[in-house]
Amino acid sequence: MNTKLYRILPLFFVLALLAACTKKPVDAPPQDVALLAPDSERAIQIHVEIADEPEEHQEGLMGRTELAENTGMLFLFQETEIQSFWMKDTLIPLDIMFFGPQGKYVSHTTMTPCTEEPCPQYTSEGPARIALEVPAGFVEANGVGPDWQLAVPVQE
């Protein structure tokens, strides 16, 4: 994969994505984002649904019974702060990665399904503005961690 296509100023990424999502159609199509390795030699493309409204944040991936490889849900928040998630009525285990306002990796954890309350809370280890949920095992399999960056493709 050509990582050159995924280079973008981190702040521009967040601003552009937030602007694009403010007036999205009701059934907006998924978008592609990329995780960039610290050495910039590797980019992992992920096909994501966007959750940028409080109702979408609350519903998340509830009720899903599967999530294909390299797909997920991208959560965009108005404020950069400690973000907290739970897995109420989410039926599949997920990895969640948290990113700062400029797309820089903050932390990750693996979340397990929860069908009965009380469900555990999963929080970012630092202030975050973006969360990315993917199938459980993704983070370990791909070695995602500190110094990784979240980006969107740019047109050349």
What is the predicted pLDDT for the residue at 3? 45
What is the predicted pLDDT for the residue at 7? 46
pTM metric for this prediction: 0.81
- pLDDT score of 99 more than 70: yes
Find the DSSP H helices in 22-70. Answer: 54-59
Residue 78 CB contacts under 8 Å (≥ 6 apart), including other chains: none
Q: For 36-73, how does the pLDDT look when each residue is reduced to its tens digit (9 = 90+)?
A: 999 888 999 999 999 999 999 988 899 899 999 999 99
Q: For 9-34, how does the pLDDT look when each residue is reduced to its tens digit (9 = 90+)?
A: 343 444 344 444 444 444 567 899 99
**Percentage of the chain surpassing pLDDT 70?**
79
Q: Rounded CA gap, 35 and 148, in Å? A: 7
The Cα angle at residue 25 between residues 156 and 1, in degrees rounded to 5: 30
What is the predicted pLDDT for the residue at 8? 43
